[in-house]
Structure 1
Amino acid sequence: MQVQVRGEGVRKWVVFGAIAFGALFMIVGLILAGVSVSYLAGAERAPGRVVALEWRNDHTSSSRKKRVNDEPAAYPVIEFTSNDGTPRKFRDAAGTNPPSYEVGEQVEVLYRADSPEDARINGFASLWLLPLIFGGIGLLFSGIGTVIALVMRRHS
């Protein structure tokens, strides 16, 4: 009987941990979404053009394990002119394989007037991918933990 009580206590802590982990990830996702919304609200817009694709392997060289997808990712290099007439160039933070953009492709660039070097492509991956990943993982963990907690409560 005492072993069962200990086991139930452990299960409750695991469920609580899953819900707490999920809530933390949802909060991080909401914060990242807020950062994107704030960036959008204060951003200047300019036409840009993909001038190059920078291929990079992002894994560390100290890792000796062969990963499933060990191929390099293409990061678009964008050229645009800010409102002050200065030509600018930046590498987008989101790299993909296969490439999301082609050299010569026209894109819309978002940048802050006070900090034009902090520019982003006005696209899904640049603005919403991280908030959705964190929010989705958080929703999954807290949802599973909540369902398990409700089932455990019904059975007791």
Structure 2
Amino acid sequence: MQFQVRGWGARQWIAFATIGFGSLFLVIGLIMAGVSASFLSDAQRARGTVVALEWRDDHSSASRKHRANNQPVAYPVVEFTPADGTRQTFRNSTGSNPPSYEEGERVEVLYRADSPGDARINGFASLWLLPLIFSGIGVLFAGIGTTVALWRRGRS
């Protein structure tokens, strides 16, 4: 099967759709960055300890097809004591293989004073990796679409 786009109008729509897709991802990335920045501005800090690594295997077939290896991912389970003195435990939302943290490792924990269960490890991946990925994809696609639209416009 061969897909061929004919005419300037169809190419223009594809360029604008690419710009729209990229802009959507960029907006999502910027919103996620704003959520992380808001969390940081209100967050309390505490020392925590990685008490376990929770290994998870992603069983979705779509995800397995795209991952280079089908190995499980380690999510650090962290224990800390917030200012109110009640011991809290949480599983970090970001995992990796090989693990980024080891059992017994001391980490800085960021948490909301009104909700100590809403906690994260103070690290780049926990706070900024997803906003960076979404924003990067957005800039890439919006840039490609804009370049194609401007190139097509210059040729006509």
TM-score scaled to structure 2, two decimals? 0.92
Give how far 1:69 is off. Answer: 1.7
Alignment of 1:5-44 (within 5 A): 7-44=7-44
Whether 1:77 and 2:77 are equivalent positions in the alignment is yes
Contact 2:58–2:64 (8 Å) recurs in 1: no
Q: Measure, in 2, the Cα distance between the counterparts of 1:14 and 1:69.
A: 33
Identical columns (%): 65
Alignment of 1:1-156 (within 5 A): 7-60=7-60, 63=61, 67=65, 68-156=68-156
Give how far 1:134 is off. Answer: 0.4
Q: Measure, in 1, the Cα distance between the counterparts of 2:123 and 2:64.
A: 31
Q: Which runs of 5+ in 1 are unaligned?
A: none
Q: Measure, in 2, the Cα distance between the counterparts of 1:38 and 1:122.
A: 14
Q: Measure, in 1, the Cα distance between the counterparts of 2:63 and 2:12.
A: 36
Deviations 1:116-139 (A, max 9, x none): 011100001110011001000000
Change (3 A) 1:76 1:14: same
C-alpha RMSD of matched pairs (Å): 1.6
Q: Measure, in 1, the Cα distance between the counterparts of 2:113 and 2:59.
A: 34
Q: Measure, in 2, the Cα distance between the counterparts of 1:77 and 1:65.
A: 23
TM-score scaled to structure 1, two decimals? 0.92
Deviations 1:7-32 (A, max 9, x none): 21110000000001101110000000
Q: Measure, in 2, the Cα distance between the counterparts of 1:65 and 1:150.
A: 35
Q: Measure, in 1, the Cα distance between the counterparts of 2:119 and 2:80.
A: 10
Aligned length: 150
Given residue 99 of structure 1, which amino acid in structure 2 is its aligned partner?
P
- SS of 1:52's partner is strand
- SS of 2:28's partner is helix
- SS of 1:23's partner is helix
Deviations 1:89-143 (A, max 9, x none): 1100101000000111110000001110111000011100110010000000000
Q: Measure, in 2, the Cα distance between the counterparts of 1:102 and 1:45.
A: 20
Given residue 23 of structure 1, which amino acid in structure 2 is its aligned partner?
S
**Structure 1 residue runs of 4 or more that deviate by more than 3 Å after TM superposition:** 64-68
Q: Measure, in 2, the Cα distance between the counterparts of 1:97 and 1:79.
A: 21
